[in-house]
Amino acid sequence: MDDAGFMALALAQAQTGFEEGGVPVGAVLVGVEGRLLGAGRNRRVQQNDPIAHGEMDCLRRVGRLRSYAGTTLYTTLTPCMMCTGTILQFGIPRVVIGENRSFAGNEGFLRERGVKVTVLDDPACAALMQRFQRERPEVWAEDIGEVPETPPTGQS
């Protein structure tokens, strides 16, 4: 399977997340020789878990690997700083991004540290995220760490 095929799998994860009421970011990790190791999606809303971004969920579902050499992480949206840090921590050498128009993310930071970054500029990835941002702007703001208008219940 090629980059477009693996991105289609990540996009299917994002679509499922959207249908579940969550943030539509999906990811898949592919190993040596193009073997699919696992898939995940942003589950922050569904699991009430502040760090369950798509890339993080994917890596959790893959489970522990002794080495990430030769792997490629496919993600529908440019990784945030938390996910970027995880990519760097485990030495994932290649990241393929579905789109970077909806969120600038940290592509430069990844590249500066030797990660090969490919941006597909996939119209379907962009359309799903743009729909989500229009329909649920408050959840999007929360997901990228923007300060909400009002504090969460029980806090001041």
Give the pair of three-digit tokens for residue 59. Answer: 């890596």
Write down the catalytic residue from 19, 20, 55, 107: 55
Distance (Å, rounded) from C-alpha 31 to C-alpha 98?
A: 18
Q: How many CB atoms are located within 10 Å of the residue 59 CB?
A: 24
Residue 55 among the catalytic residues = yes
CA 14 to chain centre: 9
The residues with which 77 forms a beta bridge, in sequence order, are 99
Distance CA 74, CA 3 (A): 8
The pair of three-digit structure tokens given for residue 97, joined into one six-digit string? 């991004």
Give the three-class secondary structure for 142. Answer: helix
Task: Kindly list the catalytic residues.
Answer: 55
